[in-house]
Amino acid sequence: GDTHYYTFNVRMKKVTRLCVTKSIPTVNGQFPGPKLTVREGDRLVVKVHNHINYNVSFHWHGVRQLRNGWADGPSYITQCPIQGGQSYVYDFTVTGQRGTLWWHAHFSWLRVHLYGPLVILPKRTEGYPFPRPYKEVPILFGEWFNADTEAVINQALQTGGGPNVSNAYTFNGLPGPTYNCSAQDTYKLKVKPGRTYMLRLINSALNDELFFGIANHTLTVVEADANYVKPFTVQTLVISPGQTMNVLLTTAPNPASPAYAMAISPYTNTQGTFDNTTAAAVVEYAPAPARSLPLPALPLYNDTGAVTNFSRNFRSLASAQYPARVPLAVDRHLLFTVGLGTDPCPSNQTCQGPNGTKFAASINNNSFFRPRTALLEAHYQRRYAGVLLANFPTAPPHPFNYTGTPPNNTFVQHGTRVVPLKFNTSVELVLQGTSIQGAESHPLHLHGYNFFVVGEGFGNFDPVNDPPKYNLADPVERNTISVPTAGWVAVRFLADNPGVWLMHCHFDVHLSWGLSMAWLVNDGPLPNQKMLPPPSDLPKC
């Protein structure tokens, strides 16, 4: 393959949206950040220079980083953050993957501003398993806060209530005409009649799953998280933070209107506040005023039925060229409860969580505690003492009716806990959503791997009656899956990539409350089954 060199200069820049100007971190002065384009098998060398006063690190979301966790990017997991004035080079090869992925900052909530597309084209000798589109266009969905985001995080962590919500959703950084003082900041997709466009959709919003649709047009989904799927056509789709989706849009041969609106709006079942606005953008055949275009009909914010109907469509292509390599035998069965919990309110604070407690979040009641040094380095040096504990609970602490009335005591335990896995362990993981305080769905993202989604359902997972219904023939392969409120998802993966790999809720508010854990996958016996040595410029904590 080829080698692509990029330089990321992280600098503050003044940006204005909704008539509010604030200074935000950017990559090379761009917001959203630059698009990286490679081919399957190519090497990427991204030299990051941090010129801001915050720590930063970058994650190449969905890239498997085989044996090379050093390039994965989550701060304090695979590397110490890059401090102001420091540099680090991410050097990795994209192996066995093609499609749409993305990159984002992985320190605190910096990804609200630092994100961009990572396009992986098929090898030159391979086409797409569908007719070649006339044009390909990345569309990143995001969120804009008028307030300083550091203040929003601190508010969420310290008051112990829900965070202040965003002021707008965005298309490629632009809120569009439905917001005050924003019509001039409207994203326009210029099209020709009777052609097929491939939209590379990326949900980079911080805390919201989103519905998306285009008035008078249908969308054919062909890829999810850089894996081909059996094509299916919908009016509206839903996409969780962290997920990517390629959809084909065929334009009208004789459009009745010069332009049509596209829109995004939130899907949630939170009992707290959320950004209940709709952002619009334009599919433009010929210039037209964006303000007057009718919006596509999107489902109501709490339409779980629409979400379920949509997500059940996903099937791997499972063709001879792109087989679904789902593990058929399972070495380890694990059940993780995924959800929110609480901490006691410190006596010097007034907390805004349930019953005067402070919100926390957990997996199997463990709220992940950020270590003081990078777990991957500790693992490589086999120096675990004082850094991590290998006793992450592999079953819920006390069985209860996860989806019924929550228990009275929802206090979490805190710790930097990991699940150790032998190389090549085949894992089946049931992610059980709960009804604990403020229950929401949780988009769970796994670093270093894709998993196969073999089953999903509502209520409590039933270990006797649910597994026989699993789809082991063509389950979708993804890196992020939404665990429904009061429901469950079963995934399988083969632990063939040694290293320390984070798994977490891709709502940044839940991540900062501790909805996170890590897998510690040991080296295999062969030389090509061992972690690569760390690069010499790896940042220090």
Of the candidates 240, 329, 312, the one whose C-alpha atom is nearest the C-alpha of residue 476 is: 312
Kindly give the pairing relationship between strand 3-17 and strand 43-50. Answer: parallel
Query: Of 261 and 503, which CB lies nearer to ligand C2O in the complex structure?
Result: 503
Query: Of 244 and 357, which CB lies nearer to ligand C2O in the complex structure?
Result: 244
Contact with ligand C2O (CB under 6 A): which of 64, 67, 98, 104?
A: 104
Site string for ligand C2O, 395-434 (x = CB under 6 A): ----------------------------------------
Site string for ligand C2O, 201-240 (x = CB under 6 A): ----------------------------------------
Q: Please identify the residue of the shown chain whose CB is closest to the bound ligand C2O.
A: 61
Asked if 379 interacts with ligand C2O (CB under 6 A), we say no
DSSP state of 405: S
Contact with ligand C2O (CB under 6 A): which of 67, 442, 504, 510?
A: 504
Residue 96 identity: G
Exposed/middle/buried for residue 465 (C-beta within 10 Å: 0-12, 13-18, 19+): exposed
Query: Residue written as tokens 């490629």?
Result: 172
Mark the segment that binds ligand C2O (CB under 6 A) among 32-40, 342-350, 361-369, 501-509. Answer: 501-509
3-state secondary structure (DSSP) of residue 320: coil
Query: Of 106 and 417, which CB lies nearer to ligand C2O in the complex structure?
Result: 106
Contact with ligand C2O (CB under 6 A): which of 17, 64, 67, 106?
A: 106
Contact with ligand C2O (CB under 6 A): which of 38, 42, 46, 61?
A: 61
Task: Please state, in angstroms and rounded to a whole number, the distance separating the CA atoms of residues 454 and 472.
Answer: 6
Cross-strand pairs, 369: none
Mark the segment that binds ligand C2O (CB under 6 A) among 425-433, 460-468, 498-506, 530-538. Answer: 498-506
Smallest gap from Cβ 48 to ligand C2O, in A, equals 17
Contact with ligand C2O (CB under 6 A): which of 24, 38, 55, 59?
A: 59
Query: Of 241 and 299, which CB lies nearer to ligand C2O in the complex structure?
Result: 241
Q: By rule CB under 6 A, what count of residues binds ligand C2O?
A: 11
Exposed/middle/buried for residue 382 (C-beta within 10 Å: 0-12, 13-18, 19+): exposed
Task: Please state, in angstroms and rounded to a whole number, the distance separating the CA atoms of residues 228 and 218.
Answer: 19
Task: Please state, in angstroms and rounded to a whole number, the distance separating the CA atoms of residues 331 and 495.
Answer: 10
Query: Of 417 and 447, which CB lies nearer to ligand C2O in the complex structure?
Result: 447
Smallest gap from Cβ 518 to ligand C2O, in A, equals 11
Contact at 8 Å (CB) between 541 and 76?
Answer: yes
Task: Please state, in angstroms and rounded to a whole number, the distance separating the CA atoms of residues 412 and 405.
Answer: 17
Contact at 8 Å (CB) between 59 and 103?
Answer: yes
Query: Of 110 and 293, which CB lies nearer to ligand C2O in the complex structure?
Result: 110
DSSP state of 331: S
Kindly give the pairing relationship between strand 487-495 and strand 451-458. Answer: antiparallel
Kindly give the pairing relationship between strand 20-27 and strand 3-17. Answer: antiparallel
Kindly give the pairing relationship between strand 196-203 and strand 244-250. Answer: antiparallel
Contact with ligand C2O (CB under 6 A): which of 215, 374, 486, 502?
A: 502
Which runs of E-coded beta strand occur in 330-388?
332-343, 358-363, 366-368
Query: Of 115 and 488, which CB lies nearer to ligand C2O in the complex structure?
Result: 115
Contact with ligand C2O (CB under 6 A): which of 32, 74, 138, 142?
A: 74
Kindly give the pairing relationship between strand 244-250 and strand 219-224. Answer: antiparallel
Smallest gap from Cβ 74 to ligand C2O, in A, equals 5
Query: Of 379 and 504, which CB lies nearer to ligand C2O in the complex structure?
Result: 504
Side-chain half-sphere of 474: how many Cα atoms within 13 Å?
A: 14
Asked if 242 interacts with ligand C2O (CB under 6 A), we say yes
Asked if 113 interacts with ligand C2O (CB under 6 A), we say no
Query: Of 59 and 98, which CB lies nearer to ligand C2O in the complex structure?
Result: 59
Mark the segment that binds ligand C2O (CB under 6 A) among 288-296, 327-335, 361-369, 500-508. Answer: 500-508
Query: Of 52 and 63, which CB lies nearer to ligand C2O in the complex structure?
Result: 63
The structure tokens listed for 87 are 């540099």
CA 307 vs CA 137, 175, 209, 302: distances in Å: 25, 24, 10, 9
Task: Please state, in angstroms and rounded to a whole number, the distance separating the CA atoms of residues 73 and 370.
Answer: 15
Site string for ligand C2O, 440-479 (x = CB under 6 A): -----x-x--------------------------------
Return residues touching ligand C2O (CB under 6 A): 59, 61, 74, 104, 106, 242, 445, 447, 502, 504, 506
